[in-house]
Amino acid sequence: MALLFLISMVSGLVVGVILFVVVGRFDPPSESDLARAPWTAWLVLAAGISGTAGFAFAVLSGVDSYLLMAPSISLPAAGIVLAAGRLRAGDRRWPVWAGATFALVPAAFWLVFLIGEVFGPPH
């Protein structure tokens, strides 16, 4: 099971890096229009909210299925990578910060869960 969690986390990180590289070329942050956030900032927010909603659904549904948990692992990882890229590019708008905050909650849970699965006692 730990291997599946690791695969989901790595796939989310890879998707985040790919989206950051591809999307970052088409939507550089502009200082001229500070009121309107670029669509990549909204992409960060969407990834964070989707990951948190998937996490809540997976936890509250009571169904022990990896297919329900996989999006709640990979979407926050992608959201964190995208948020880090946008922040590094100088985009400090609220959708980036909110998306990063939303994505950190399930990502932190799954990271602690993965560490417990790998280094914890066998069950």
**Tens digit of pLDDT for each residue in 47-68?**
999 999 988 988 888 777 777 7
Q: Name the domain count of the chain.
A: 1
Give one DSSP letter per residue of 76-118, joined into a string: HHHHHHHHHHHHHTT---HHHHHHHHHHHHHHHHHHHHHHHHH
> What is the enclosing helix (H) or strand (E) of 36?
none
- Only one residue has tokens 């985040």, namely 16
C-alpha closest to that of 55 among 71, 67, 77: 71
**Tens digit of pLDDT for each residue in 23-51?**
766 665 555 555 566 788 888 999 999 99
For residue 29, tell me if it sits in a domain: no
For residue 26, tell me if it sits in a domain: no
Q: Structural domain of residue 82, as residue ranges?
A: 2-20+40-118
Residue 62 is encoded by which pair of tokens? 């009571």
For residue 94, tell me if it sits in a domain: yes
Tell me what the pLDDT averaged over the chain comes to. Answer: 82
